[in-house]
Structure 1
Amino acid sequence: MKYFSTNNKFHITGFEEAVINGLAPDGGLYMPARIPVLEKSFIENITSYSLIDIAQLIIENFTESEIPQKDLKEIIEKAFIFPAPLHSLDKNTYVLELFHGPTLAFKDFGARFMARTMEYFVRKRNMELNILVATSGDTGSAVANGFYDVEGINVFILYPSNKVSFIQEKQLTTLDKNVVALEIDGTFDDCQRLVKEAFVNKSINEKLNLSSANSINIARLLPQSIYYFEAYKQLIDKNCKTIFSVPSGNLGNLTAGLFAFKMGLPVHKFIGATNSNKVFTDYLNTGNFLPTASRKTYSNAMDVGNPSNIERILNLYSNELFDIRKDIYSLSFNDFNTLEGMKEVYDKFNYIIDPHGAIGYQAAKNKLNSTESELFNTIILETAHPSKFNDIVEKALGFEVEIPDRLKECLNKEKHSTQLSNKFEDLKNYLLSKQ
C-alpha cells in the first residue's frame, strides 16, 4: 500500500515512512492510495470474528508486506486489550462505549496501536524518535499512556493551559520518564499550529527525528475504523439501516468511520455532531470552510476551530460537496444543549453519558423524529467515561460519577509541566535545547 500527501498526490511513500514522518514534508496529511474493499463474506459472517480478528483483517490491508502478519498480530494483541461494547438505550438506539481502555477514552484505540507500531519501526531502524502531539483533552492522556516507557521514543505533549479537565491534566502530567507535558498559553488550535510549524521547520528537522501522534498520523487513524465494524457486529437486527452519530472535533473519528464505510461497512448515514466550534457544520450547510478561533465548551475534546482531518474527508470525496452531503449530515449544539442531553439520557434510559456523547445523542435525536428512529439502528459514539467530566456531570445531574480505580491512582501524583507561550520560537528553542 502506498500513501500520498493531501497537498501533492505525487508525493508517494510507504506505510512505514508515513507513520515515522507523521506529516508529509509539504505539510499535507498522508492518505492511502486506495481504500481496500473487504469481501462481502466478511460482513455477512462478521459475528464469527473477534475484535482482534477484525483489527488484523482491516489493518493488514493498509500495511501489506511492510509488517509481517505474525508481527502485526503481536502488535494488535498488545494494543487492543479492552472491549468496545454496544449498550442498548432502546430497541433502535445504541451507545458504543469506547472508554474501556487504560485512559477511559476512545483515543486509547489509536494511541496504543500507534505506539506499538512506532516501537516496531524504531527498533528495526535502531533510531530515536521524538513525538510531538497537540491535545484538547483525551489525546494527550492516551498518547502519554500508550508511549510511556517505550524505548527509543520521546513524547512532547502540547496542551492549552486551563482548557483541559483536572483529570485529563493529571493523566498527561504525572508520568515523567520519556513523556514531557508542555503547557501552552493559548488554545488547542495554537498547540496544533505549533506542532505543524515544527514539522516544516528546517533547523528542528535537521537535529530531531520528528513524528506526530495526533490523528494526522495515519497509524492513529486506521485503528479507529475497527470499532465501527465491531459496533455493527453487535447489532441484533442487521437488516435495519445503520446511522452513526459521531461527536466531532478534529474529525479523526468521523474520517475513520468514512474509511470503514468505503471499505464496505453498511452505513446509511453519518452524523457529524459538533459543539459551538461548528466549522464543519457550517461547511456542510454553506459550502464554505472558514476556520475560526476555538471556543471553550463543556465538550473540550471537540474544541477545534480548524480541524485537520477535513483534508482527508475532502480527498475521499474528490472535493465534491454534493457527495459529502449524501453521506454526512451535521448539527451543532451549545453547552446548554449538552446539559439537556445528559439529563434526558439519564432520565429516559438511566444511563450516564459524558458531554461529548450527549452532543452525539442530541444530534441523533434532532435528525430523526420518533417515527423515523424506528426505521434505523442509531449508534452514538460515547468517546469518554463520564467520570472524566464530573464537574459537568454534577451540573447536569446533581451528582458525580464514581471514578474507576485505574483513574484514581494518578490523581494524587504531582503535576509536572513546562509552561511555554504560543509563539513558535519558544517551542523551537525548547526542543533544540533538549538535544
Structure 2
Amino acid sequence: MFYSTNNPKSKTSFSEAVLQGIAPDGGLFMPYSFPVLSKEFFASVHRLSFREMSFEVARTFLGGAISDPDLEKIVDEALEMDAPLVKVSPSVYALELFHGPTLAFKDFGARFLARTMAYLTRNSEREITVLVATSGDTGSAVAQGFYGVPGVKVCLLYPSGKVSHIQEQQLTTLGGNITTLEVEGTFDDCQRMVKEAFADRELASKKQLTSANSINIARLLPQMFYYFYAYSQLEDRQRPLVFSVPSGNFGNLTAGLFAWKMGLPVKRFIAATNRNDVVPEYLKEGRYRARPSESTISNAMDVGAPSNFARMVALFNNELAAFRAIISGYSFTDEETRACIRDVYDRQGYVLDPHGAVAFAGLRSYMEENRELNGVFLETAHPAKFRDTVEEILQMEIPVPGPLAICLDKPKKSIRIKSGLEELKEVLLASGENA
C-alpha cells in the first residue's frame, strides 16, 4: 500500500497510485514500508543478468501487486538495453544509462511505466491521457515508451527555447498518439501547469489523467534497478560505495534512496546540481528555498522546485540530520561544468555530457577528502544529445548515433501555447468530452 506525502494516513493500492500519478490531495505516493532483499540475493547478485536481478527487485518491492509471470514479461520488455559500468579512472566508474532508444536514463522508467500501465488498464474501456512536463529527456523517453500503446494518449509540455535542438526533435517528431505542447515559459511553469490540470475538477470529470514524470511511483521503481546492477558489476564489492547523481527533479536520487532502503549497501549519495542548488543549499544551511529555475548547459536539471523533495522529506521524517547522514550536496557553474568535460577528456579520454560532468565533479569533490571507495557517477545521457555544447568545449566532432540522426530529418509537430492552465485545458478537451 502507498500513502500520500500530504496525508500519511491515506492508503492507496499500487494500481491506483500508478493510474492516478499524483494523489488527489496533490501529494506524491510513497510506500508504507520497504521490504529488504535477502543476504542470499546480494551474495549471488553478480551472477544474475540485468533482467533477472531487476525482476527480483521489482517482485520484492511490489509484493504480489502484479503476478510473477506478468511482472517478468514487463521487466523483460522494458529492459531491452544495457546499463554498463565503465571504469573512467581507478576507483571511479561511469554508470552509462544512455543505451536505450532515446539515449537517456529516462528510457528505463518510461518503458517500464508504459508496459505497467498497459497491463493495469488491459480490461478498461476508458482512454487514459498521460500528462508530462519535461525539461528535456523525460518527454522523449515517455513519447517513445508510449508510442502506439492502445488506449493511451500522451500530452508533453516543454519550455520553448530551453531544450537542446536534438531533444526538441525527439520530442516533436512522432505524432500519432503523442501531442507536444511548446510552452512559453520555464520547466517550472510546465510542471505547475501539469499539477493544476490534475487539480482541475472539469478535467477530472471528462478525462482520465495520469502522469509519467518521476512523480509517478512506477517511474521510480525501474530506476532502482540500475543501482543494484551497478553494485553487481563492481570488481570489489567490499569497498564502500558512493553514488553521485546529477539532480534536477530528484527522481533519480530518490530511486537510489529507495534501493538503499531495500538493503543496497551504499555509504553515501551525492546530490550534484548546477546553479539550481535548492537541495545542496538545504543540506548546507538547513533551509529549503524553492525559487525560479535558471537556464544552464545541463538543462535537464534546471529545476527550482524539485517535486521529489517531498518524497525525501517523507523518507527522512523531515529531519535534516537524517538527510545529512546519507546525502552530500554540491553545485557547479556552467564554467566549472565545461572545465570538467575538458579535464576528463584530456586525462581519461572519456566524453561526458553536461549532466554526467556535474555528477563527476560532485564525486571528485567528495573524493578529495574520502578515499578507498568505489565512486560511481551516473552518466544519464549520450553526449551527442548536447552535441553543440560538447563540440564547442572539446573542439572535436561528436558522432550522432543512428536513433538521433533519424529524428533530425523529421518535421517538427508541436502546438505553441502560453504558460497557464487555460490553453492547456483547451488542448486536452479538444480530443473529445468522453475520452
Cα contact 1:88–1:94 (8 A) shared by 2: yes
**Aligned AA (2:282):** Y
Cα deviation, residue 174, structure 1? 0.4
Aligned to 1:95: 94
In 2, Cα distance between equivalents of 1:355 and 1:44: 35
Query: Equivalences for 1:407-422 in 2 at 5 Å?
Result: 407-422=404-419
Q: Does residue 275 of structure 1 match 2:274?
A: yes
Aligned to 1:372: 370
Cα contact 2:37–2:60 (8 A) shared by 1: no
Aligned to 2:240: 241
Cα deviation, residue 231, structure 1? 0.3
Cα contact 1:339–1:395 (8 A) shared by 2: no
In 2, Cα distance between equivalents of 1:59 and 1:124: 23
Q: Does residue 24 of structure 1 match 2:23?
A: yes
Query: Equivalences for 1:221-240 in 2 at 5 Å?
Result: 221-240=220-239
Q: Which secondary structure does the structure 2 equivalent of 1:59 belong to?
A: helix
How far does the alpha carbon of each residue in 1:65-92 deviate from its partner, in whole angstroms, 9 at most, with x for none? Answer: 3311101111111110001000001220
**Aligned AA (1:245):** S
Query: Equivalences for 1:195-234 in 2 at 5 Å?
Result: 195-234=194-233
Percentage of identical aligned residues: 51
How far does the alpha carbon of each residue in 1:116-164 deviate from its partner, in whole angstroms, 9 at most, with x for none? Answer: 0001112132331000000000000000000000000000000000000
In 2, Cα distance between equivalents of 1:295 and 1:430: 28
How far does the alpha carbon of each residue in 1:353-390 deviate from its partner, in whole angstroms, 9 at most, with x for none? Answer: 10000001111111222x733x1110010000000001
Query: Equivalences for 1:21-420 in 2 at 5 Å?
Result: 21-369=20-368, 372-373=370-371, 375-420=372-417
Cα contact 1:354–1:384 (8 A) shared by 2: yes
**Aligned AA (1:363):** G
Cα contact 1:250–1:304 (8 A) shared by 2: yes
Q: Does residue 423 of structure 1 match 2:412?
A: no
Aligned residues: 432
Cα deviation, residue 411, structure 1? 0.5
Cα deviation, residue 434, structure 1? 2.2
Cα contact 1:4–1:11 (8 A) shared by 2: yes
Q: Which secondary structure does the structure 1 equivalent of 2:120 belong to?
A: helix
Q: Which secondary structure does the structure 2 equivalent of 1:193 belong to?
A: helix
In 2, Cα distance between equivalents of 1:149 and 1:414: 19
**Aligned AA (1:93):** V
How far does the alpha carbon of each residue in 1:89-112 deviate from its partner, in whole angstroms, 9 at most, with x for none? Answer: 122000000000000000000000
Q: Which secondary structure does the structure 2 equivalent of 1:380 belong to?
A: strand
Cα deviation, residue 48, structure 1? 1.2
Cα deviation, residue 193, structure 1? 0.3
**Aligned AA (1:384):** A
Cα deviation, residue 60, structure 1? 1.6
Cα deviation, residue 207, structure 1? 0.1
Q: Which secondary structure does the structure 2 equivalent of 1:410 belong to?
A: helix
Cα deviation, residue 17, structure 1? 0.5
**Aligned AA (1:380):** F
Q: Which secondary structure does the structure 2 equivalent of 1:329 belong to?
A: strand
Q: Which runs of 4+ in 1 moved over 2 A?
A: 61-66, 124-127
Could you tell me which runs of 5 or more consecutive residues in structure 2 were left unpaired when the two chains were aligned.
none
Cα contact 2:341–2:353 (8 A) shared by 1: yes
How far does the alpha carbon of each residue in 1:369-415 deviate from its partner, in whole angstroms, 9 at most, with x for none? Answer: 2x733x11100100000000011102210123100012111110000
Q: Which secondary structure does the structure 1 equivalent of 2:64 belong to?
A: helix
In 1, Cα distance between equivalents of 2:60 and 2:44: 19
Cα contact 1:244–1:271 (8 A) shared by 2: yes
Q: Which secondary structure does the structure 1 equivalent of 2:149 belong to?
A: coil
In 1, Cα distance between equivalents of 2:198 and 2:61: 24
Greater displacement, 97-106 / 395-404: 395-404
Cα contact 1:387–1:400 (8 A) shared by 2: no
**Aligned AA (2:136):** G
TM-score (norm 2): 0.98
Cα contact 1:391–1:400 (8 A) shared by 2: no
Q: Which secondary structure does the structure 2 equivalent of 1:95 belong to?
A: strand
RMSD: 0.9
In 2, Cα distance between equivalents of 1:67 and 1:367: 40
